[in-house]
Amino acid sequence: MNDDRTLQKVNIEPQDDSYGKIIRGWQKGIFRINLYVIMLTFCIEVAFMFIIDSRGGLSVPIPLYIPLYIIRPTMINIATYLTAYFLNKKKELNIGVRAMIPLVLLTVIISNLIVVHYVFSALYSLIVVPIYVSVIYGNVRITRRIFWILIPVYIFDVICILLAPYKNLPEDFIYNVIVAFLVIPLSYLLVKSQVDYENKKEQLILHQSMVNDQLRDQIRYDGLTQIFNHTGLFEYLNEKIANYSQGDRLYIAVLDIDYFKKVNDDFGHESGNIVLKTLGQLMQQISNDNVLPARYGGEEFSLVFSDMSMEDVKALLTKLHRDFAGQRFIGIDRKITFSAGIAVYEEGMSDRTFFEKADKALYRAKNEGRNRIITAS
């Protein structure tokens, strides 16, 4: 996977990016956790001082212990936290830098902990925690960057421990240092493999989702007119009826091109297709959030109207009727019109009953001479 493309996931700037909002929330969370760790570490340091002193285990006197093991590490942690916090507020920083800020902050806090409490060898392994935390970004580049930061930081920690005054190194110090050092690249390789796997899986899911969307569109849309077909129409109707509340306004019109069979017989199916596509295009021109066009089948079309008055519905349908009748088709030497029936939805109706109500009005229009619009009684 291309790192640059994946890096866009961590963009915390876009206002409408849901993924970005999750990342911003996570970054705020990790900043809070880092602050809690700083506070907790300070409290533990103070408590340890009294506990170890009561047992006579302090290697240095309290006046020296406080600045070395309490004040200095706490001030380093606070200064690093404030620097990271204000850097994170700077929107002009590029995406990659902003993504790294909480990870670097966590690295400094852990490094400080290792240096101060080097006698607890189990703490050395904490140096790899930022690598595992980087998984949240799902970006190999960020994981690689934190890996290359950890190596010199860990070496610096070991040097600081070796140069520390009053040091009392454990007997297995060198072995613990080597083991922890080896864990860093092993952790990187593990996390890198996991991120690669998750990214490939995500791409596969995304591709499959796109394929499913295309298949869904093929199922719901009419290939000739590019408007909803029978399936799409009734899915939409079901949704509208399911959300219907008393007082809502919902209408359906069923349209049928007059003498369309004669058009096909006299001028050929290609000419007939042009007529169908033209009506579909005219219907698309009046479609919006409140008007949905569909081709029910053959030469029969439908329009669903919502949140409109009956006067507006009739005005739109009349305009469509006039515009279609005014079309002139190459190779067809006659005027082509359509008949239509309109029905108002009544609470409790099923989608089929609603449609059939308009369909009956359509048949009245055809029986009364065609080229007209009739409203169901």
Q: Which tokens belong to 4?
A: 């640059």
Please compute the mean of the pLDDT values over residues 91-99 and round it to a whole number.
Answer: 76
Number of domains in the chain: 2
Residues 55 and 170 in one domain: yes
Question: What's the sign of the alpha-carbon dihedral 192, 197, 200, 202?
Answer: negative
What percent of the chain is modeled with pLDDT above 70? 92
The residue range of the domain holding 59 is 3-212
Regarding predicted confidence, which is higher, 216 or 36?
36
- In this predicted structure, which of 17-21, 25-29, 102-106, 237-241 has the lowest mean pLDDT? 17-21
Q: Tokens standing for 76? A: 């380093």
Confidence of residue 3 (pLDDT cuts 50, 70, 90): very low
Residue 296: CATH number of its domain: 3.30.70.270
Measured between alpha carbons, how far is 333 from 371 in angstroms, rounded to an integer? Answer: 17
Confidence band for 218, pLDDT divided at 50, 70 and 90: low
Predicted local distance difference test score (pLDDT) of residue 58: 67
The C-alpha R_g of the chain, in whole angstroms, comes to 36
Same domain for 299 and 182, yes or no, is no
Whether residues 187 and 267 fall in one domain: no
Strand pairing partners for 253?
A: 303, 342
- Indicate whether 155 and 94 sit together in one domain: yes
Whether residue 117 is found in the same domain as residue 65: yes
| Mean pLDDT on 57-79 | 82
The verdict on 150 and 239 lying in the same domain is no
The pLDDT value recorded for residue 57 is: 67
Lowest mean per-residue pLDDT among 155-169, 260-274, 315-329: 155-169
Q: For residues 214 and 212, what is the distance between their CA atoms, to the nearest angstrom?
A: 5
Mean pLDDT of the chain: 86
Question: Which DSSP string corresponds to 155-224?
Answer: HHHHHHHHH-TT----TTHHHHHHHHHHHHHHHHHHHHHHHHHHHHHHHHHHHHHHHHHHHHHHHHB-TT
Tell whether the model's pLDDT for residue 11 goes beyond 60.
Answer: no
Give a yes or no: residue 221 inside a domain.
no
Share of the chain above pLDDT 90, in %: 48
Residues 49 and 191 grouped into a single domain = yes
304 and 163 in a common domain: no
- Domain end marker among 182, 212, 242: 212
Q: Kindly indicate the confidence band of residue 91, based on its pLDDT and cuts at 50, 70 and 90.
A: confident
pLDDT at 168: 75
DSSP, res 246: T
208 and 235 in a single domain? The answer is no
Contact of 114 with 127, CB cutoff 8 Å: yes
The least confident of 107-121, 173-187, 225-239, 297-311 is: 107-121
Task: Convert the pLDDT of each residue in 336-376 to its tens digit.
Answer: 999 999 999 999 899 999 999 999 999 999 999 999 999 99
Task: Compare 6 and 67 and report the one with higher pLDDT.
Answer: 67
Query: Is 334 part of a structural domain of the chain?
Result: yes
Q: Per mean pLDDT, which range of 212-216, 235-239, 246-250 is the poorest?
A: 212-216
Statement to judge: residues 206 and 91 lie in one domain: yes
- Does residue 219 fall inside a structural domain? no
Boundary (domain end) residue, out of 212, 244, 275? 212
